Structure 1
Amino acid sequence: MEQRSARGHLGRFGEDAAIDHYRRQGYRLLARNWTCSLGELDLVLQRGGLLVFCEVKARSGSAFGGPYEAVTWRKQRKLRALAEAFLIASRPHPDAVRFDVASVTLKPGGTTSVFVFESAF
């Protein structure tokens, strides 16, 4: 249970860091942890006519590989289905849609590294 709580805390921390990154780039957060029967979207953001679905992967080290490596083709397929469900439910009418992966790494000493892979898949 303790490990699950720590993982949840790291996940929230990673989402917060990714949101800050996007806001500095002029994006507006539309949804965080949007859920439906298919699962959950971490972040849905918008800038102008562009709608971004962002999967956030946070790590406290590189022992299990980089955060980006955790987004498998199965996960990509699921995220596409979730995005379609979001578009149907929310009807935002974007000009374009993009799928990003935000790689957030908590480094020793408390510094944070955020790298966003735009159009990751």
Structure 2
Amino acid sequence: MGENAGRRDRRGQIGRLGEDVAAEYISGLGWQVLARNWRTRYGELDLIAADGRTLIIVEVKTRASRTFVDPVAAVTPQKLRTMRLVTRQWLAEQSEFWPVIRFDIVSIRLDIGDPEDLERATIAHHRGIVE
């Protein structure tokens, strides 16, 4: 396995761990997780959740490095545009009407020495990042 493939595998593993932590966190808030990793050819929504009649689209950013103080810094304006586009696609397939739609970011920092030690993970929840 080449060095780049090893990095991609680690990045994928870190991303999955972070999404697991975020899904558990969201469930702990009493929200219902409606979908995970919903994909179209235009992009992916990490988590789609409901809090009563509010639909929350959650971008999960996970790091097990010191690249960013808060992984939310990795969310670009282009990523936000893609989230809105893909959300419209998801909504077009749904029969339920959502009077309120909100976009959040949940950023997860895993321990750099032992990313699988989820007890040491830190979570930052950024609510309402896109109207």
Superposed, which structure 2 residues align to 1:1-121 within 5 Å? Answer: 1-107=5-111, 108=113, 110=117, 111-121=120-130
Aligned-partner Cα distance in 2 for 1:54–1:102 = 7
Larger Cα-atom Rg? 2
| Farther-moved stretch of structure 1 (58-67 vs 80-89) | 58-67
Letter in 1 for 2:103: F
Q: Distance in 1 between matches of 2:8 and 2:65?
A: 17
Identity of aligned residues (%): 33
Q: CA deviation at 1:116?
A: 1.0
Structure 1, unaligned runs of 5 or more: none
Q: Alpha carbon RMSD of aligned pairs, Å?
A: 1.3
Q: Which amino acid aligns with 2:19?
A: E
Give the TM-score of the pair, scaled to structure 2.
0.87
Q: How far did 1:13 drift?
A: 0.5
- Count of matched residue pairs: 121
Instruction: Flag structure 2 segments of 5+ consecutive residues without an equivalent.
Output: none
Partner-residue secondary structure (3-state), 2:97: coil
